[in-house]
Amino acid sequence: MRGAGGSLLFLSQADIVRLLDIDKLLEALAGAFVELSAGRTSVPPRIAARTASGGLLGAMPGYIAGVLEAKVVSVFPQNHARGLPSHQGLIALFDEDTGAPLAVMDGVAITGIRTGAAAALAARWLARPDATTLAILGAGVQGRSHLAAFPRTRDFKEIRIASRNVATAEALAAENPRAKPVATFKEAVQGADVVCCCTDAREPVLKYEWLVSGAHVSSVGGTFGPELDAKTIGAGTIFVESRDAVRQPPPAGAHELQGLRPESVTEIGEVIAATQPGRSAPDQLTVYKSSGHAVEDAAAARLVYERALAEGAGQRVSL
């Protein structure tokens, strides 16, 4: 990927939201996950510095063919009480041949959109084909991202949204005519074919006893603690972006998967490439546990950058 004239392109959050097409992102993520599972990427484990206030600053560099990028992201859960986003960050793109910086773009929108899209991609491959009821636990940035992406994978007749903040659940449900707010996480989950956990919880928000036979569970939260209970992990067939979710401690790895053997989980890229099975039975519980991955940022950032060049979007600055 190359830039123009040695200047740096700056892309705002508004630019990202306008330029990033979710359907194209789903395709790009599928390719990125296949490359990751085939060992054709260079993505070191993320590192993080933790603050006295309980936040962290993480660095996620990555390379896939055509894209060299690095994301620096802060995660401060206490920001919700301040009216600020819990996740904030920047993504920088570099020329893969010369290392020259090409662009700096908002990382908040990309992180939000790509996380929901990656989870939806996993559901496309793992949820039952006849799934009609979707539950979304959490009504923040990720709840909105999942509401935008998941209906592209199945024809959901009913979408239930639950949040610890009733007003946010009501507001999010108003964005989709098939969505409705419900009072509790339990009410949302019971009878749902697909369940999305999108919270900043420090303890499980989902219990195995609430799930129907053959459910698909997606969990993208849990930076500071597990979203899923141990019974769900024990009963489910586990799918991940990378087996590093098992090998690495949090935040690079998942709280729920610590202590599991890496070979006991399947990478979603292996399912897409048909080198490992996905869902094998209608009554099987499938669980996609996301820790986030740099290849997702790279795939999304490339789409944004290439479209920005084509449309002349963003602002150019000289270093």
pLDDT in tens, 3-13: 556 799 999 99
Range with lowest mean pLDDT among 59-68, 133-142, 175-184, 222-231:
222-231
- Secondary element (H or E) of residue 229: none
Q: What does each C-alpha distance from 278 to 86, 146, 236, 270 come to in angstroms?
A: 33, 21, 12, 9
State what percent of residues in the chain have pLDDT above 90.
89
**What domain count does the chain have?**
2
Buried b / exposed e along 270-307 (16+ C-beta atoms within 10 A): bbbeeeeebbeeeebbbbbbbbbbbbbbbbbbbbbbeb
Residues 158 and 229 in one domain: yes
Are 156 and 134 spatial neighbours (Cβ–Cβ below 8 Å)? yes
What average pLDDT score do residues 223-236 get? 95
Task: Write the pLDDT tens digit of every residue in 165-217.
Answer: 999 999 999 999 999 999 999 999 999 999 999 998 999 999 999 999 999 99
Q: Are residues 193 and 64 in the same domain?
A: no
The answer to whether residues 118 and 91 touch, using CB atoms and an 8 Å cutoff, is no
Same domain, 88 and 167: no
Provide the CATH number for the domain around residue 300.
3.30.1780.10
In angstroms, the Cα distances linking 149 to 142, 180, 235, 250, 268 are 10, 17, 26, 26, 17
259 vs 250: CA distance, rounded Å: 12
Question: Can you give the C-alpha Rg of the chain in angstroms?
Answer: 19
| 270-315 tens-digit pLDDT | 999 999 999 999 999 999 999 999 999 999 999 999 999 999 999 9
Q: What is the extent of the structural domain holding 237?
A: 115-292
15 and 146: one domain? no
Q: Are residues 264 and 183 in the same domain?
A: yes
Residues 254 and 306 in one domain: no
The pLDDT of residue 1: 63
In a shared domain, residues 283 and 300 = no
Does one domain contain both 40 and 173? Answer: no
The answer to whether residues 153 and 86 belong to one domain is no
Between CA 98 and CA 90 the distance in angstroms is 21
Q: Which pLDDT score, from 0 to 100, does residue 5 have?
A: 60
203 and 279 co-located in one domain: yes
Task: Say yes or no: 138 and 279 in one domain.
Answer: yes
